[in-house]
Structure 1
Amino acid sequence: MIRFGLRLALSGGREAAVRLVIIAAAVALGVGMLLTTLAGMNAVDAQNQRYAWLNTAVAPAAADPTADPMWFLIRQDYFHGRSIGRVEVAALGPHAPVPPGLPRLPGPGEFYVSPALDDLLRTTPAAQLGDRFPGHRIGTMGPAALPSPDSLLILIGRTPADLEPLGARRVDQIMTTSPSDCSHGCYVGIDSDGMTLVLSVVAAALLFPVLIFIGTATRLAATRREQRFAAMRLIGATPRQISVISAVESTVAAVAGTAVGFGLFLALRPALAAIPFTGERFFTADLSLNLVDALAVAIGIPLGAVVAAWLALRRVQISPLGVTRRVTPAPPGAWRVVPLLAGVAELAYFIGRRPPTTNGQITAYLSGFVLILTGLVLAGPWLTMLGARLLAGRASRPATLIAGRRLADNPKGAFRAVSGLIVALFVTSVATGVITTYVANRGEPRTDSVAATSLSTWFPPEEGPAPTADRFPALSTIPGVRSVTLVHANPVDTPPPMEFRAGTAAYRSWWPGIITCAELERLAVFGRCAAGAQVVAVADDLIGERAWDLTNDSYVWPAADASPAQVDRQPIRSVVVDTTSRAAFEQARTMLINAFPAARFPSSTAEWESDSARQLVQFQQLANVIMLASLPIAGCSLAVSVAGGLSDRKRPFSMLRLTGAQLATLRRVVALETVVPLLTVSAVAIGIGFLAAHLFLRAQLHYTLLPPDGSFYLMVASGLAVSLGIVASTLPLLRRITGPETARND
Structure 2
Amino acid sequence: MSAGRGPGRVPGPVRDLWLGVRFAFAGGREGWTRALLTAVGVGLGVALLLLTTAVPNALAERDRREEARSDHTYSQRDIPKADDTLIVLDADTTFRDRAVRGRLLEAEGPDAPLPPGVAAFPAAGEMVVSPALRDLLASDEGRLLRERLDYRVAGTIGEQGLVGSKELAYFAGGEGLAKRLGHTSGARIDHFGNDDLTPSDPWDPVLLLLVLVVFVVLLMPVAVFIAAAVRFGGERRDRRLAALRLVGSDSRMTRRIAAGEALAGSVLGLVLGTGFFLLGRQLAASVEVFHISVFPSYLNPSPALAVLVALAVPAAAVLVTILALRGVVIEPLGVVRTAKPARRRLWWRLLLPLGGLALLFPMIGQGDDGGNFNQYLVVGGVMLLLVGITALLPWVVETVVARLGPGGISWQLAVRRLQLSSGTAARMVNGIAVAVAGAIALQMLFAGVEGNYTKASSYDVSRAQMSVDVPDGARTAATVAQYRETEGVREVTALSSAYLGDRRGEEASYLQITVADCVSLREVASLPSCRDGDVFAVKGAQYDSDNDHLTEPGTTLWTDPDETAASGDRAVSWTVPRDIRQARPREDPTGYERGGILITPGALPERLGAAASARLFISLDPSVEDAYDHVRNTAARLDPAVQPMTWQREESNERFAAIRTGLSVGAACVLALIGASLLVSQLEQLRERRKLLSSLVAFGTRRRTLGLSVLWQTAIPVGLGLLLAATVGMALGAVLLRMTDAAVRVDWPSVLSMTGVGAGVVLVVTLLSLPPLLKLARPDGLRTE
TM-score bucket (shorter structure): 0.5 to 0.7
> Which residue type is aligned with residue 537 of structure 1?
R
Contact 1:32/1:261, CA 8 A, preserved across alignment: yes
Superposition deviation, residue 147 in structure 1 = 1.4
Partner residue of 2:157? 141
- Which residue of 180, 193, 213 maps to 1:175? 193
Higher helix share: 1
What are the superposed Cα offsets for residues 337-378 of structure 1, whole Å, 9 maximum, x if unpaired?
355356568878877641238x825x57x9557524522422
Q: Is 1:79 the equivalent of 2:89?
A: no
Match of 1:28 in 2: 43
Name which of structure 1's ranges 410-419 and 209-218 shifts more when overlaid on structure 2: 410-419
CA distance in 2, matches of 1:92, 1:565: 43
**TM-fit CA distance, 1:685:** 0.8
- CA deviations 1:228-255 (Å, max 9, x no partner) are 33334xx36795x657744553454444
Which residue number in structure 2 is paired with residue 680 of structure 1? 720
Q: Does 1:355 align with 2:374?
A: no
User: Aligned to 2:231, what secondary structure does the other structure show?
Assistant: helix
Deviation at 1:259, TM superposition (A): 3.7
Q: Secondary structure at the match of 1:152?
A: strand
Distance of aligned partners of 1:210 and 1:293 in 2 relative to their CA distance in 1, 3 Å threshold = same
- Structure 1 residue 605: deviation in Å? 1.3
Task: Note if 1:214 corresponds to 2:229.
Answer: yes
**Pick from 715, 727, 740: which aligns with 2:757?**
715
Aligned residue number for residue 547 of structure 1: none
Instruction: Provide the rounded CA distance (Å) in 2 between the counterparts of 1:125 and 1:717.
Output: 41
Q: Which amino acid aligns with 1:249?
A: E
Q: Counterpart amino acid of 1:576? A: F
CA contact (8 A) 1:69 1:170 kept: no
Q: Alpha-carbon deviation of 1:332?
A: 2.8
Report the alpha carbon displacement of residue 29 of structure 1 after superposing the two structures with TM.
Answer: 2.2
Aligned to 1:425, the other structure's residue is in SS state: helix
SS of the residue 2:168 aligns to: coil
Residue 621 to residue 169, structure 1, CA distance change in 2 (3 Å): closer
Please list the CA deviations of residues 23-53 of structure 1 after superposition, one character each: whole Å capped at 9, or x if unmatched. Answer: 2322332333334444555444333322122
Check if 1:588 corresponds to 2:588.
Answer: no
Q: Does 1:577 align with 2:624?
A: no
1:129 aligns with 2:137: no
1:249 alignment partner in structure 2: 261
1:582–1:276 Cα change, 3 Å: same
Give the 5 Å matches for 1:266-665: 266-277=278-289, 279-288=291-300, 301=313, 305-306=317-318, 308-309=320-321, 312=324, 328-329=341-342, 331-341=344-354, 353-356=366-369, 360=372, 363=374, 367-368=377-378, 371-378=381-388, 380-382=390-392, 384-386=394-396, 388-389=398-399, 392=402, 395=405, 415-433=426-444, 454-457=465-468, 469=476, 472-476=479-483, 478-480=485-487, 481-487=489-495, 518-519=519-520, 537-539=586-588, 542=589, 574-579=615-620, 581-582=627-628, 584-591=630-637, 593=639, 601-605=643-647, 616=660, 619-620=663-664, 622-627=666-671, 629-631=673-675, 633-634=677-678, 636-637=680-681, 640=684
Distance 2:598 2:264 in 1: 86
> What do the CA deviations read for 1:692-732 (whole angstroms, capped 9, x no partner)?
44665674766844432776554333223245557887699
Alpha-carbon offset, residue 585 of structure 1:
0.6
1:404-425 Cα offsets, whole Å, 9 max, x none, are 9998999766644432223221
Shift of 1:10: 4.4
Secondary structure of the structure 1 residue equivalent to 2:616 = strand
Separation (CA, whole Å) in 2 of partners of 1:209 and 1:76:
49
* Counterparts of 1:527 and 1:274, CA distance in 2: 49
In structure 2, relative to structure 1, the CA distance for the partners of 1:118 and 1:643 (3 Å cut) is: closer
Letter in 1 for 2:148: L
Query: Percent of counterpart pairs with the same letter?
Result: 22
1:554 is aligned to none
Q: For residues 732 and 270 of structure 1, do their structure 2 counterparts lie closer, same or farther at Cα, with a shift above 3 Å needed?
A: closer
For residue 33 of structure 2, the aligned residue among 18, 33, 45 is: 18
3-state SS of the aligned residue for 1:101? coil
Give, in angstroms, the shift of residue 211 of structure 1.
0.8
Instruction: Determine if contact 1:432/1:708 at 8 Å carries over to the other structure.
Output: no
Alpha-carbon shift at residue 681 of structure 1 (Å): 1.8
Q: What's the offset of the Cα at 1:683?
A: 1.0
Answer yes or no: is the 8 Å Cα contact 2:389–2:430 preserved in 1: no
- What whole-Å deviation, never above 9, does each CA across 1:89-133 have from its counterpart, x for those lacking one? 6667655544322346678888654344556678767995246x8
Amino acid at match of 2:721: V
Aligned-partner Cα distance in 1 for 2:777–2:134: 63
Conserved 8 A contact 1:337-1:379 = no
- 1: CA distance, partners of 2:208 / 2:268: 34
Separation in 2 of the partners of 1:320 and 1:125? 76
- Partner of 2:467: helix, strand, or coil? strand
Q: What are structure 2's unaligned runs of at least 5 residues?
A: 1-14, 202-206, 500-511, 530-581, 622-626
Distance 1:632 1:432, change over 3 A: farther
Structure 1: runs of 5+ lacking an equivalent:
187-191, 492-510, 545-557
Distance 2:735 2:431 in 1: 24
* 2: CA distance, partners of 1:527 / 1:29: 60
Q: In structure 2, the residue corresponding to 1:154 is in which secondary structure? A: strand
Distance of 1:309 and 1:252 partners within structure 2: 12
Q: Which amino acid aligns with 1:100?
A: P
- The answer as to whether partners of 2:454 and 2:650 remain within 8 angstroms in 1 is no
Q: After alignment, is 567-576 or 672-681 more displaced?
A: 567-576
Asked if the contact 1:391–1:404 (Cα under 8 Å) also holds between the matched residues in 2, the reply is: yes
2:265 is the alignment partner of 1:264 = no
Q: Is the 8 A contact 2:480 2:616 kept in 1?
A: no
TM-score (normalizing by structure 1): 0.67
Aligned-pair CA distance for 1:197: 6.6
Q: Relative to 1, partners in 2 of residues 1:408 and 1:346: Cα closer, same or farther, differing over 3 Å?
A: farther
TM-superposed deviation, 1:217: 0.8
Give the Å deviation of 1:456: 0.8
Q: Kindly indicate whether the alpha-carbon contact (under 8 Å) linking 2:290 and 2:661 is maintained by their aligned counterparts in 1.
A: no
Please say which structure displays the higher CA radius of gyration: 2
Aligned pairs (5 A) from 1:160-171: 162-163=180-181, 168=186
Q: In 2, distance between residues paired with 1:97 and 1:206?
A: 49
Deviates more, 1:45-54 or 1:89-98: 89-98
CA distance in 1, matches of 2:513, 2:40: 63
Q: Give the drift of 1:429.
A: 2.6
- 3-state DSSP class of the match of 1:100? coil
**How far apart, in 1, do the equivalents of 2:264 and 2:596 lie?**
84
Alignment of 1:47-58 (within 5 A): 47-57=62-72
Corresponding letter in the other structure for 1:721:
L
Q: What's the CA shift string for 1:203-244, capped at 9, x where partnerless?
A: 515523431331321634243133133334xx36795x6577
TM-score, with normalisation over the residues of structure 2?
0.64
Contact 1:70 1:89 in 2 (8 A): no
**Superposed, which structure 2 residues align to 1:151-166 within 5 Å?**
151-154=168-171, 162-163=180-181
Aligned to 1:508: none
Whole-Å separation in 2 of the counterparts to 1:469 and 1:398: 79
CA distance in 2, matches of 1:383, 1:624: 24
Q: Answer whether contact 1:31 1:261 (CA < 8 A) is retained.
A: yes
CA 1:55–1:197: 2 relative to 1, 3 Å: farther
Equivalent position of 1:228 in the other structure: 243
1:683/1:737 Cα in 2 relative to 1: closer, same or farther (>3 Å)?
Answer: farther
Which amino acid letter does the alignment assign opposite residue 427 of structure 1? G
